[in-house]
């Protein structure tokens, strides 16, 4: 991991400085679309410092996975003992999906960190869950005429920011049915950047 990545991925930067730079971050649009309930098995891929638990109101089981050991330690310190949740420092593998059999999957700020091939492998892996009901993703996005948004997106440590239609094609190729694709501001007050939030379900569900 480069010095640039370590600095921008540090919990202090991620949780406090980044929201100020972009004008506030409200993740409610992501978790409102996820629709988890008391019977849900939630898998959070790229969970970071565990912000999902600030928004999820109900679930039966929550598992967050991330390849960043610093973020996972921070998540465990924040939430590990407070709720029935588990955080794991690892790269998600097919055996994990088979064991967890998630009903709801959230990937907040993940797809713009991986190549098309990596994204497709991940989406198809998740699609294999026999109980899968919904997948919600949130990512930075290039937008026509939005120069400030696009500059900030280009400066993000994620190196695979895409245009909206490019993200949408990934979902289709991942054997998921896109049911909603929305551009949302980073905060209700508008913020300085916008995100693409996509909601998808298994085909034929």
pLDDT in tens, 145-202: 999 999 988 988 889 999 999 999 999 999 999 999 999 998 877 667 899 999 999 9
**CA separation for the pair 102, 160 (Å, rounded):** 26
Alpha helices in 93-201 (DSSP H): 94-100, 116-127, 147-155, 164-173
First to last CA, the chain: 39
In CATH terms, 3-202 corresponds, of 1.20.120.160, 2.170.120.30, 3.40.50.150, 1.10.760.10, to 3.40.50.150
- H-run or E-run covering 105: strand 104-108
What is the domain partition of the chain in residue ranges? Answer: 3-202
- H-run or E-run covering 184: strand 176-185
Question: What's the pTM?
Answer: 0.86
């Amino acid at each position: 991991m480069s010095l640039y990545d370590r600095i921008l991925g540090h919990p202090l930067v991620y949780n406090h400085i980044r929201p100020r730079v972009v004008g506030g971050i409200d993740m409610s649009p992501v978790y409102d679309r996820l629709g988890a309930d008391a019977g849900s098995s939630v898998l959070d891929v790229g969970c970071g410092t565990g912000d999902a638990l600030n928004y999820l109101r109900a679930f039966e089981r929550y598992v967050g996975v991330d390849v960043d050991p610093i973020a996972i330690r921070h998540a465990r310190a924040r939430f590990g003992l407070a709720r029935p949740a588990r955080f794991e420092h690892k790269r998600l593998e097919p055996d994990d999906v088979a064991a967890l059999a998630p009903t709801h999957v959230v990937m907040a700020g993940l797809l713009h960190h991986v190549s098309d091939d990596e994204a497709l492998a991940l989406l198809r892996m998740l699609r294999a869950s026999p109980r899968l009901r919904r997948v919600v993703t949130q990512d930075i996005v290039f937008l026509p005429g939005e120069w400030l948004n696009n500059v900030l997106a280009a400066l993000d440590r994620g190196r695979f920011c895409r245009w909206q239609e490019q993200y949408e094609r990934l979902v289709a190729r991942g054997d998921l049915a896109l049911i909603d694709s929305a551009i949302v501001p980073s905060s209700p007050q508008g913020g300085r950047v916008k995100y693409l939030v996509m909601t998808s379900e298994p085909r034929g569900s």
